[in-house]
Amino acid sequence: MTAFPAYPTTRPRRLRRNPVMRNLVAETSLHMDNLIYPIFVRHGKDDVRPIASMPGQVQWTLDKLGAEIKDIRARGIKAIMPFGIPEHKDPEGSDNLSPNGIMANAIRLIKDTCPDMMVISDICLCDYSSWGHCCIVDPSNHHLLNEPTLRYLAKAAVNHVQAGADMVAPSGMVDGMVASIRHGLNEASFIYTPIMSYAVKYASAFYGPFRDAAECAPKFGDRSTYQMDVRNTKEALKEVSLDVAEGCDIVMVKPAMPCLDIIKSVSDEFEVPVAGFQVSGEYTMIEAAAEKGWLDKKKVALESLWAIRRAGATMIFTYFAKDAAEWLA
């Protein structure tokens, strides 16, 4: 009788033999409830403007936005993050504070069109400032002015929530921003509005296409004095601890794929939900390679989303959300 090797009785390969078995034992799930779709809204009328550096993404004018919101919701997407491109920008980013600014009007339209759509509002200054920075700056030396920026962010948060935003998300990495916004919201009686802090936002080279889309490239310098150094891990954990202590409800790590280790560390160490933002550069790389036939778009995009979830992200901001609605159906 032939003697067979004594293989271990629990070889994992036995659980990989067909798709049904692999799905039964999969440790990581991905559902539409995990995904948030970023969109761009611009001033003007009757204009759907493709974003050259982000294939498949466009800037919508308000008169075109309603139909897009209905389509997004019909696909099963339940949460979005709009970014506004105002007609006029100034050093104070005043459009973002106006009840009739592009973002306030967009939020109202979204909620009027689909009341059950969750609107997570980015309240950063960069989209609205003529400087293209995330803060109020001193025009004489271009230094960040922390206290005026905190007052600005609190006012912007209240403006967005009054328009109908369900959650606010400060993205500027400005010291004290969560505490200032929480105080402003509480003073305006919005005590139940959650804050998602971009607690770990690296000064990443992956943001380039977004700056084209939002028309917010800095007019001088860069953002490395307030966004995080990509080489640091301990600093990320310190930033999260500070924002959690100030009262944020959710923390975000950005960009997601280059920071899976950070998502994992934050998820393990802190008892708050963690979001990962699959940013414009991550999206564009996959789209461009797929267009060349070098990668399978569906397989690579889903693999990247599963990896972000596997690392510990409860939710993912992704420009692939509309595609994922079809892939996950």
Task: Note whether residue 118 is domain-resident.
Answer: yes
CA distances from 171 to 4, 133, 181, 204, 301 (A): 60, 11, 12, 13, 25
Q: What is the pLDDT of residue 2?
A: 62
Q: What is the mean pLDDT of residues 133-152?
A: 84
Q: What is the pLDDT of residue 169?
A: 96
CA distance 170 to 177: 7
Query: What CATH number did the domain enclosing 126 receive?
Result: 3.20.20.70
| Residue of 70, 201, 234, 238 marked active site | 201
Is 201 among the residues known to form the active site? yes
pLDDT digits (tens, 9 = 90+) for 189-219: 999 999 999 999 999 999 988 888 777 777 7
Strand 196-201 and strand 250-254: pairing? Answer: parallel
Is 254 among the residues known to form the active site? yes
Q: What is the pLDDT of residue 5?
A: 64
Q: What is the pLDDT of residue 124?
A: 85
pLDDT digits (tens, 9 = 90+) for 28-43: 999 999 999 999 999 9
Q: What is the pLDDT of residue 1?
A: 57
- C-alpha torsion 255→310→250→115, nearest 10: 90
CA distance 244 to 257: 23
Mean residue pLDDT of the chain comes to 92
| Residue of 64, 89, 111, 254 marked active site | 254
135 pLDDT above the threshold of 70: yes
Q: What is the pLDDT of residue 222?
A: 75
CA distances from 75 to 68, 79, 106, 113, 327 (A): 11, 11, 20, 15, 11
15-36 residues labelled b (16+ CB within 10 A) or e (exposed): eeeeeeeeeeeeeeebebebbb
Task: Note whether residue 257 is domain-resident.
Answer: no
Task: Note whether residue 166 is domain-resident.
Answer: yes
Task: Note whether residue 324 is domain-resident.
Answer: no
Give the residue among 90, 173, 154 at the shortest CA–CA distance from 128.
90
Task: Note whether residue 162 is domain-resident.
Answer: yes
3 pLDDT above the threshold of 70: no
6 pLDDT above the threshold of 70: no
CA distance 199 to 250: 9
CA distance 244 to 252: 11
CA distance 317 to 19: 27
- pLDDT band (50, 70, 90) for residue 171: confident
Task: Note whether residue 258 is domain-resident.
Answer: no
pLDDT digits (tens, 9 = 90+) for 46-89: 999 999 999 999 999 999 999 999 999 999 999 999 999 999 99
Give the residue among 323, 122, 144 at the shortest CA–CA distance from 214.
122
141 pLDDT above the threshold of 90: no
CA distance 213 to 238: 31
Cβ–Cβ < 8 Å for 32, 325: yes
pLDDT digits (tens, 9 = 90+) for 274-318: 999 999 999 999 999 999 999 999 999 999 999 999 999 999 999
CA distance 47 to 60: 6
* Contacts of the segment 229-232: beta carbons below 8 A, 24+ positions apart: 229/202, 229/203, 230/202, 230/203, 230/204, 230/258
Task: Note whether residue 194 is domain-resident.
Answer: yes
58-68 residues labelled b (16+ CB within 10 A) or e (exposed): bbbbbebbeeb
Q: What is the mean pLDDT of residues 238-254?
A: 97
Per the structure, the count of domains in the chain is 1
Q: What is the mean pLDDT of residues 161-177?
A: 94
Task: Note whether residue 46 is domain-resident.
Answer: yes
Domain boundaries, position 213: 30-248
Q: What is the pLDDT of residue 167?
A: 98
In the chain, what is the greatest distance between 2 CA atoms, to the nearest angstrom?
Answer: 90
CA distance 321 to 298: 12
- C-alpha torsion 98→223→121→53, nearest 10: 100
Cβ–Cβ < 8 Å for 136, 149: yes
Provide the 10 A C-beta neighbour count for residue 73: 16
Residue in this structure with the two tokens 């929480």, named with its chain if needed: 182
What's the predicted TM-score (pTM) here?
0.93
pLDDT digits (tens, 9 = 90+) for 144-158: 888 999 999 999 999
CA distances from 204 to 1, 57, 251, 259, 322 (A): 63, 21, 18, 11, 25
